[in-house]
Chains A and B, each alone.
Chain A
């Protein structure tokens, strides 16, 4: 029987259930006003994809290929193969704290309801209080050591949909070395991005698809199935870049948190605008959430995009704890033509 990992679960639609059964008293503001999802962007506001944004060390190859867009029109795309390891770092992690006295410096992150938390030992020790559920106990009460999936077998057992009870109450982390024999490389993956974005008539769903690829070669993944992870009393720890490893996608991001802890900063634009860090799968650039003054744009559309005179149409990432980068695709995404089959080379 084929093992179901959490990432494939994203494609199954399970997250539709994630809002059920809350015991949280936080206010939910209910509104029924529909917004206009039509897209109105001038041609002059659409810039060609610039592959020079990518860190060369992150790349295996870039080539231009024929592709078919989601509107069924033929086009050209960049076929970009990345090595699956962040080119701006020498190592990833830390993820799980080893003991309940560990500080933020020796631990990663976890998010909940829009907030990114330091996954300190103290946080682990207080999960029962945090989630108001006494079944949480992720550490040995005598030694203070945190239960960590520190083998390939245990990490893969805890990264499935139906986690066996013996792996409940674990902080889950997988070593990228399990999936690559080459230091500084991860799971190779290939992205197909239109050479010039084509604006859709109405915004396209991200659903369970990849959101994009960072210029350092890391996958921007769709929303993490936090509800499923938590239901097994596990924490799928992130590092300071809101990234973690699973057996299918390798190292991937679920948020943007540049400049915090071990996560490298990115440069602001010369005019103080947020910095660019990724291409979305439709070929529009994703910039950081805040500008140099710490402000966020107030005119973002439902995809979290807007237009300015310098950059044309572009996106701004959501906050690091929001389990999302953008809300949807303003442009058409691409699929490979038959003779350009997408390539994925785990562990090469």
Chain B
């Protein structure tokens, strides 16, 4: 049984929601990595993912809206941009992205 199907079984109570949201899960859209990183893990398990900038986010799987999301609790490890597809290509060409926020102070 693959990880996705295991997760579906674990979340059987969400079947009703699934039935009214047939497009929500499998379209392959963005902002998936923090969730994907916890797909096969338990709550409070350590998790990590590497985003399109090659930066590593390490944290813990925590519950948001019935699902597990990897919430970072270690400083971002900045890496080399590893451009392979979709918004990675975009990021390489365009400006205006921030992982850690910018100015603070008065």
Q: Is A71 an interface residue (CB 8 A)?
A: no
Report which residue of B29, B52, B55, B87 has the largest number of chain A beta carbons within 10 angstroms of its beta carbon.
B29
Q: How far is the CA of A311 from the CA of B35 in the complex (A)?
A: 32
Q: Which of B18, B33, B45, B67 contacts A34 (CB 8 A)?
A: B45
Residues of B with C-beta under 8 A to A65: none
**B30 lies within 8 A of A327 (CB):** no
Is A265 within 8 A of B103, CB to CB?
Answer: yes
Instruction: Tell me if B51 and A12 are in contact (CB < 8 A).
Output: no
B26:A223 contact, CB within 8 angstroms: no
Q: How far is the CA of A205 from the CA of B43 in the complex (A)?
A: 10
Closest to A292 in B: B105
A-contact 0/1 string along B3-36, CB 8 Å cutoff: 0100100010110011011011111111111111
CA distance A320 to B94 in the complex (A): 19
- In the complex, the answer to whether A28 meets B34 with C-beta atoms within 8 Å is no
Question: Which of B29, B51, B57 contacts A231 (CB under 8 A)?
Answer: B29
Cα A232 to Cα B27 in complex, Å, equals 10
Q: Are A113 and B33 interface neighbours, CB within 8 A?
A: yes
Chain A residues positioned under 8 Å from B41 (CB to CB) = 30-32
> Is A239 close to B, CB under 8 A?
no
How far is B66's CA from A9's CA once the two chains are assembled, in angstroms?
11
Instruction: Say yes or no: B85 contacts A25, CB within 8 Å.
Output: yes
Q: A20-B4, A22-B36, A113-B31 are in contact. Are A227 and B25 (CB under 8 A)?
A: yes
Which of A13, A34, A223, A260 is in CB contact (< 8 Å) with B17?
A13
Given contacts A14-B65, A28-B36, contact A104 B90 (CB under 8 A): no
If A35-B60, A267-B106 touch, does A26 touch B99 (CB 8 Å cutoff)? no
Q: Specify which chain A residues have a CB less than 8 angstroms from the CB of B103 in the assembled complex.
A: 258-260, 265
| CB <8 Å contact, A324 and B25 | no
* B50 CB, nearest partner CB in chain A, Å: 4
B48 closest partner in A (C-beta): A29
Q: Which residues of A contact B56 (CB under 8 A)?
A: 29
Known interface pairs A35-B46, A228-B24, A260-B103; A131-B94 also in contact (CB < 8 Å): no
Residues A15 and B27 in contact, CB atoms below 8 Å apart: no
User: Could you tell me the distance between the alpha carbons of A34 and B89 in the complex, rounded to whole angstroms?
Assistant: 35
The reply to whether A33 and B46 form a contact with Cβ atoms under 8 Å apart is: yes
- Let me know if B85 and A322 touch, CB within 8 A: no
Chain B residues, Cβ within 8 Å of A267: 105-106
Contact status B73-A323, CB under 8 Å: no
**Cα(A126)–Cα(B95), bound, Å:** 13
| Contact A327 B104, CB 8 Å, known A15-B64, A116-B98 | no
Q: Which B residues form the contact surface with A (CB < 8 A)?
A: 4, 7, 11, 13-14, 17-18, 20-21, 23-53, 55-60, 62-69, 71-76, 82, 84-91, 94-106
Supply 14 A–B pairs (Cβ within 8 Å), ascending by A.
A12-B66, A15-B69, A17-B14, A22-B33, A25-B84, A28-B49, A31-B46, A230-B31, A267-B106, A275-B104, A290-B101, A320-B101, A324-B64, A327-B73
Identify the 7 closest CB pairs spanning chains A and B, nearest first: A13-B66, A16-B67, A19-B35, A259-B103, A132-B86, A118-B96, A327-B71
8 further interface pairs, Cβ-Cβ under 8 Å (given A30-B37, A203-B62):
A12-B65, A24-B86, A34-B42, A162-B20, A231-B27, A258-B104, A320-B100, A321-B99
